Structures are given as structure tokens and as C-alpha cells.
């Protein structure tokens, strides 16, 4: 069914032909064709065209608002000064020899930079060890130990990454065996990195549904039923992915939920993939982040089964998405698996050094009394408090719309409202071969310029429709975004009622 690249022939793009070349065709990996990633799907691709057309006055709005992706600096969030100052000096150490440097950079930044430069053999342009620069891994491990109230963290368990995505890919490659009917438990709604990588590496997704009526709570009995049902069907469930705080749902797990999950993994021989990239994004005063590693330690089950915990420089208040920084902490993996993980990391040579440095700085911020501390805390607090205000404003506005309900965004960067759509809208969507919420989101784009992602891209209970939006537009513009969205929603209901 596939196509074969012509031997020796140059493969040219065929706009008006059937994409064959010299009669030959390109045979592609069907898993690649099967994988989907809605965060940058059809709506976003259309939005790119619209954003070019807006300048020519072709649309009833003058800006496209990118609410499809948690990309804070794309929509105006400022980088953290401390991080950028240190990266600047690490990228061009000669600055430190310039007498003017002390006028441009605080003394603690200069000292840190000298230490980092000494710690990174060959500088930021050199390959490092595949798991990352040893000194930076140690810095991250010490910080994880402090974060978790003293729970031991071995630097050998820390792998620095080109973003948390790289850690998920690595784990999927390690665990999913062809022709073994391997599967993974994934929350629904889920961040589509999980469904996409399962498709890419030949695994299958076993859904466990979060309960929208219980603030997207996780029901451990539901999880156990999903596991038993999958096994009954002959699926070999290898792991469970947990996203805490949740994406797209924003819920923060209770400590009890976490204990239940850990006990289940230990009893059922499951690898726990703890996706904790939003650990700094907790807004609900009744919730606080506790790492699964800490809960496992306090439950007496740490190192009794494999846990891989993921963190990233892309989220939190740092928002260094393009830096491609992050790390995974792996505990409870047998040595034979660790050897294979090292080999997988080696095939990619090493994570980028700038991202490694940013990760070590994310985990080791300025301390009270240091010259950089005051500005750092001002920037951090300013961003997190603003995110909390924007989350509250957006969710309360969404709940005022007819037929819309939206749980509180307890954490992360998103709201995931449920929308009730008129039958005529569902019919119109079907006529265009679109999902109802995909149809709604495309109409939203074409009428308002606001780019969101249909709930169908994250998974949802049959018969329900959602969309995911970030609350990243600045506080000066989020009001107008809400106005545009509210007017669109009312007009849409009128048009299809
Ligand atoms: C839950 C979760 N895990 C991992 C990642 C990947 O992070 P890295 O940038 O470190 O690879 C993301 C990114 N969030 C995507 C990107 O922006 N909006 C999203 O939903 C995420 O939301």
C-alpha cells in the first residue's frame, strides 16, 4: 500500500500529480501516518494562513490569538532575567573578562557563570555525556532532594533532556515491544504526546476516564476496571501515564489519589510515568504539588517498582519552551533496563547544553540574600499570580456562556470547557466530515481569530464536546479575547439553533 523512494532519483514535491515519481512511490511507516498531535493540527495550520490574510483585511478581526499551545513567551511573557543573564555569559564567556561586566551583571550571576563554565567541559558547543553534564545532573539531584523534603535523589537517576517530550519518546521506545500487544494506561482527556508516541512505537492506548463531574478527579476503581478489561482482551499493559497537574484538564491530584496509584503500580507490575511538568503551576489554595517520588517514599514503595518523573523548562513561570530543557528522574528500574536507557540516550549523543544549563538553573534559583534574589522573586511571583488571575477570569467567564460548563483550572495553563452544541451544528459538522467540537473551533477561528484545540484532540467521553484554550494572553488583552469568544458563542448558538 506504500510508496518506494526512487533509487537514485531526486524526490520532488508534486503539487498537481498523484505524488508518484517515475511511477515509483514512497513507502512510509504506517505508525507515522497513524500518529496524530492535535495541539498543532488542522485548526492551527489554517490559523497560520488566516494570520497572513489578516494583514490584507480579509477577516473581521485584526489579530490571531494563539491559545492552542502553552507557549508563554510567544504571547508576550518575559523571560526570567536571571536565567537569560547566566545563559548569555555561558554562551560567550569572554564577556566575563570585560571590565564592564560588573556593571551589566550582578556579582552572583558572574560567580555562577564562572562555576558553570568550569563545570561544562568544552563549553556550550561541546557534546556532553549522553545523560547530561555530571555537575549539572548533581545540581538537579540536590534540588530534587530539597524539593522532596530530603528524599534521597541519586544523580545517576537524573537524565537531562531536550524537553520532557524526549523522555516520553525514550520510555515508549524502551517499553513497547512489537507484536507483544503492549499497551499503556493513559488518562482521558490526555495530552496527545502520549497517544501519538503510542501510535508511533506500535503500542495501544488503554483509556482511564477522568471524572468531569468530580472536577476531573481520578477514580481508582475506574482505573482498575480499565486495567482488568485490557488484560482480559489480551493487552499487555506495561505502564500508566499520570499528568499532575493535568493537561488539558488542570486538576491537581489528591495525595490519597497518588497513594492509590502507587500501590496499584507496585501490585500490578506497572511502570509509573509521572508527568510533572506543571509542578510549579498550582493555583488552587486547597492543593499543593507533591512529587510521586515523595509519595512513593512516604508510602514505603520507592524503588520497589519503576517510576520515571518528568519535568521541563517549558512550563512553570519560566516558559523556556524553545530552550528544550528538562529532566527525568528514574527510580526502581533494574540495571539491565538502565543499561538500555543509557544506550538509547547515547544514540542521540546528548541533550543541548543550553537546555541543560537552563534546567539546572530552574532547579537552583538565586537564594535569599544573593543580589539576584529580589528581582527573581518579583518576576516569579508576578507571573504566577497573573496566571492565577487569568485562570480565574477565563473560567468564570466561560461558565457564564449558555450551555458551557468549565471546571476550575486548579493548575497547569489551560481551561477545558464542555460545550453543549445544537443538533443542527452537529449535523453541519458531519456534512463537513468534522468532529462537532472541531467544527465549532474552526468557526471560532474564522469569526474571531482565536485559536483553540478541539476536545476531540485530547479524548473525551462519547457525546460530550469540549475545547482547550490556554489562559496565556496577557491581562491587558484577555478581556477582549473573552469578549470576542462570548459574542462568537452566542452567534453560533443562534445560527445553528
Ligand atoms: C503534560 C505535558 N508533558 C510534556 C510536555 C512537553 O514538554 P517539553 O516542551 O518539555 O517537551 C507538555 C507540553 N505542553 C504542550 C505544548 O504546549 N501546549 C501543550 O499542551 C505537556 O503539556
Summarize pLDDT for 416-469 with one digit per residue, the tens.
999 999 999 999 999 999 999 999 999 999 999 999 999 999 999 999 999 999
For residue 101, report the distance from its CA to the centre of ligand 1, in Å: 36
Please report which confidence band the pLDDT of residue 179 belongs to, taking 50, 70 and 90 as the band edges.
confident
Cβ partners under 8 Å of residue 341, min gap 6:
159, 170, 174, 330, 333
Ligand 1 pocket mutation, candidates 277, 324, 328, 362, criterion most atoms within 8 A of CB: 277
Q: Which residues line ligand 1 (CB under 6 A)?
A: 39, 69-71, 163-165, 191, 193, 243, 247, 275, 277, 312, 314, 321, 326
Whether this model's ipTM surpasses 0.90 comes out as: yes
Q: Is the predicted pLDDT of residue 249 greater than 80, yes or no?
A: yes
Q: Which three cell numbers stand for residue 91?
A: 554562551
pLDDT, residue 23, reads 56
Ligand 1 centroid from CA 165, angstroms: 7
What is the secondary structure of 98-146 as a DSSP string?
Answer: STTHHHHS-HHHHHHHHHHHHHSTTGGGS---TT--HHHHHHHHHHHHH
Instruction: Render the burial of 441-480: b for 16+ CB within 10 Å, e for the rest.
Output: bbbbbebbbbbbbbbbbbbbbeeebbbbbbbbbeeeebee
How many of the other CB atoms lie within 10 Å of CB of 324? 22
Distance 164 CA to ligand 1 centre (A): 7
What value does the mean pLDDT take over residues 258-284?
98
List, in sequence order, every residue forming a beta bridge with 209; answer none if it has no partner.
188
395 contacts: CB under 8 Å, gap ≥ 6: 406, 407, 408, 409, 415, 417
Rounded-to-integer distance, Cα 497 and Cα 478, Å: 28
In this prediction, residue 9 carries a pLDDT of 44
166 CA closest ligand 1 atom index: 11
Protein residue with its CA nearest to atom 14 in ligand 1: 70
- Number of residues assigned to the chain: 497
The average pLDDT across 123-146 equals: 98
**pLDDT (tens digit per residue) in 310-337:** 999 999 999 999 999 999 999 999 999 9
Question: What three-state secondary structure class fits 178?
Answer: coil
Q: Is the pLDDT of residue 143 over 70?
A: yes
Beta bridge partners of 275: 243, 310
What pLDDT, on a 0 to 100 scale, did the predictor assign at position 38?
A: 79
Q: What is the pLDDT of residue 25?
A: 82
Name the CA radius of gyration of the chain, rounded. Answer: 24
Contacts for 410 with CB less than 8 Å, ≥ 6 apart:
215, 245, 250, 251, 252, 282, 283, 284, 287
Span from the CA of 271 to the centroid of ligand 1 (angstroms): 20
Tell me the C-alpha distance between 493 and 488, whole Å: 9
pTM of the model: 0.94
Which atom of ligand 1 lies at the shortest distance from residue 470's CA? 18
Amino acid at each position: 500500500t506504500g510508496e518506494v523512494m526512487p533509487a537514485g532519483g531526486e524526490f520532488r514535491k508534486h503539487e498537481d500529480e498523484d505524488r508518484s515519481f517515475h511511477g515509483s512511490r514512497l513507502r512510509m511507516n504506517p505508525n507515522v501516518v497513524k500518529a496524530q498531535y492535535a495541539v498543532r493540527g488542522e485548526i492551527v495550520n489554517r490559523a497560520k494562513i488566516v494570520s497572513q490574510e489578516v494583514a490584507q483585511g480579509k477577516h473581521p478581526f485584526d489579530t490571531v490569538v494563539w491559545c492552542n499551545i502553552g507557549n508563554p513567551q510567544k504571547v508576550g511573557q518575559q523571560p526570567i532575567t536571571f536565567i537569560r543573564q547566566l545563559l548569555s555569559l555561558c554562551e560567550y564567556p569572554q564577556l566575563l573578562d570585560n571590565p564592564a561586566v560588573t556593571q551589566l551583571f550582578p556579582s552572583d550571576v558572574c560567580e555562577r557563570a564562572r562555576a558553570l563554565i568550569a563545570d561544562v567541559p568544552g563549553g556550550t558547543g561541546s557534546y556532553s555525556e549522553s545523560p547530561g553534564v555530571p555537575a549539572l545532573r548533581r545540581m538537579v539531584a540536590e534540588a530534587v532532594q530539597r524539593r522532596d523534603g530530603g528524599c534521597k535523589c541519586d544523580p545517576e537517576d537524573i537524565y537531562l533532556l531536550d524537553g520532557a517530550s524526549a523522555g516520553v519518546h525514550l520510555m515508549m521506545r524502551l517499553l513497547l515491544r512489537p507484536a507483544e500487544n503492549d499497551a499503556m494506561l493513559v488518562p482521558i482527556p490526555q495530552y496527545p504526546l502520549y497517544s501519538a508516541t503510542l501510535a508511533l512505537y506500535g503500542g495501544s492506548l488503554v483509556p482511564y476516564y477522568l471524572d468531569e463531574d468530580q472536577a476531573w478527579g481520578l477514580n481508582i476503581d475506574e482505573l482498575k476496571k480499565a486495567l482488568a478489561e485490557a488484560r482480559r482482551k489480551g493487552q499487555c499493559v506495561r505502564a500508566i501515564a499520570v499528568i499532575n497537574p493535568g493537561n488539558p484538564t488542570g486538576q491537581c491530584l489528591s495525595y490519597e489519589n497518588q497513594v492509590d496509584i502507587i500501590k496499584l503500580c507496585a501490585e500490578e507490575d506497572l511502570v509509573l510515568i509521572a508527568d510533572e511538568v506543571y509542578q510549579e503551576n498550582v493555583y488552587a489554595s486547597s492543593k499543593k504539588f507533591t512529587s510521586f517520588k515523595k509519595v512513593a517514599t512516604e508510602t514505603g514503595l520507592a524503588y520497589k517498582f519503576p517510576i520515571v518523573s518528568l519535568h521541563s523548562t517549558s512550563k512553570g513561570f519560566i516558559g523556556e519552551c524553545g530552550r528544550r530543557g528538562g529532566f527525568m528522574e528514574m527510580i526502581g528500574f533494574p540495571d539491565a533496563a538502565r543499561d538500555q536507557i543509557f544506550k538509547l540516550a547515547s544514540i542521540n549523543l546528548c541533550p543541548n547544553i543550553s537546555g541543560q544549563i537552563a534546567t539546572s538553573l530552574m532547579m537552583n534559583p538565586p537564594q535569599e540574600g544573593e543580589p539576584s534574589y529580589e528581582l527573581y522573586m518579583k518576576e516569579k511571583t508576578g507571573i504566577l499570580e497573573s496566571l492565577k488571575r487569568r485562570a480565574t477570569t477565563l473560567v468564570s467567564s466561560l461558565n457564564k456562556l449558555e450551555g458551557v460548563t468549565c471546571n476550575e483550572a486548579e493548575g497547569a495553563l489551560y481551561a477545558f470547557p464542555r460545550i453543549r452544541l445544537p443538533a443542527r451544528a452537529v449535523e453541519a459538522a458531519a456534512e463537513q466530515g468534522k468532529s462537532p467540537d472541531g467544527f465549532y473551533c474552526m468557526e471560532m477561528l474564522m469569526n474571531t481569530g482565536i485559536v483553540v484545540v478541539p476536545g476531540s484532540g485530547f479524548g473525551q467521553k462519547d457525546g460530550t464536546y469540549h475545547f482547550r484554550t490556554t489562559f496565556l494572553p496577557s491581562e491587558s488583552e484577555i478581556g477582549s479575547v473573552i469578549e470576542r469568544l462570548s459574542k462568537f458563542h452566542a452567534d453560533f448558538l443562534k445560527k445553528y439553533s
